Amino acid sequence: MDPMIRLILAQGMLGLNNGVFYAMLSLGLAVIFGLLNVVNFAHGALYMLGAFLALILYSNLGPWLGIDALHIGFWPALVLAPLMVAAFGMLIERFLLRRLYKLDPIYSLLLTFGITLVLQGVFINFFNASGTPYPGMPDSLKGVVNLGFMMFPKYRLFVIVFSIIVCFGTWFIIERTHIGARLRAGTENPELVKAFGINVPLMVMLTFGFGTGLAGLAGVLAAPIYSVSPLMGANLIIVIFAVVVIGGMGSILGAVVTGFSLGLIEGITKVFYAPASNTVIFLLMVIVLLVRPQGLFGKHG
Fill in the amino acid letter for 19. G
Residue span binding other proteins (CB under 8 A) among the ranges 3-11, 59-67, 99-107, 151-159 = 99-107
Nearer to other proteins, 160 or 234 (CB): 234
Fill in the amino acid letter for 279. T
Instruction: Map the footprint of other proteins across residues 111-130, applying CB under 8 A.
Output: 111, 113-122, 124-125, 129
The answer to the question of residue 286 lying near other proteins (CB under 8 A) is yes
CA distance 177 to 223: 32
Residue span binding other proteins (CB under 8 A) among the ranges 64-72, 176-184, 264-272, 277-285 = 277-285
Q: How far is the CB of 2 from other proteins (least distance, A)?
A: 31
CA distance 199 to 219: 30
Query: x/- binding map, residues 202-241, to other proteins, per CB under 8 A?
Result: --------------------------------x---xx-x
Q: Which residues contact 300 (CB under 8 A, 6 or more apart)?
A: 250, 294
The answer to the question of residue 39 lying near other proteins (CB under 8 A) is yes
Q: How far is the CB of 296 from other proteins (least distance, A)?
A: 14
**Of residues 101, 107, 149, 171, which one binds other proteins by CB under 8 A?**
107
Buried/exposed 229-260: b ≥16 CB within 10 Å, e otherwise:
bbbbbbebbebbbbbbbbbbbbbbbbbbbbbb
**Alpha helix positions (H), 273-301:** 280-291
Query: Are residues 295 and 29 in contact, defined by beta-carbon separation less than 8 angstroms?
Result: no
The answer to the question of residue 106 lying near other proteins (CB under 8 A) is yes
Nearer to other proteins, 152 or 241 (CB): 241
The answer to the question of residue 245 lying near other proteins (CB under 8 A) is yes
CA dihedral 291, 167, 170, 23 (to 10 degrees): -40
| Cα separations in angstroms, 9 against 147, 247, 269 | 10, 24, 12
The answer to the question of residue 301 lying near other proteins (CB under 8 A) is yes
Query: Are residues 220 and 227 in contact, defined by beta-carbon separation less than 8 angstroms?
Result: no
Nearer to other proteins, 21 or 74 (CB): 21
Binding interface with other proteins (CB under 8 A): 39, 96, 99-100, 103-107, 109-111, 113-122, 124-125, 129, 234, 238-239, 241-242, 244-245, 275, 278-279, 282-283, 285-286, 289-290, 293-294, 301
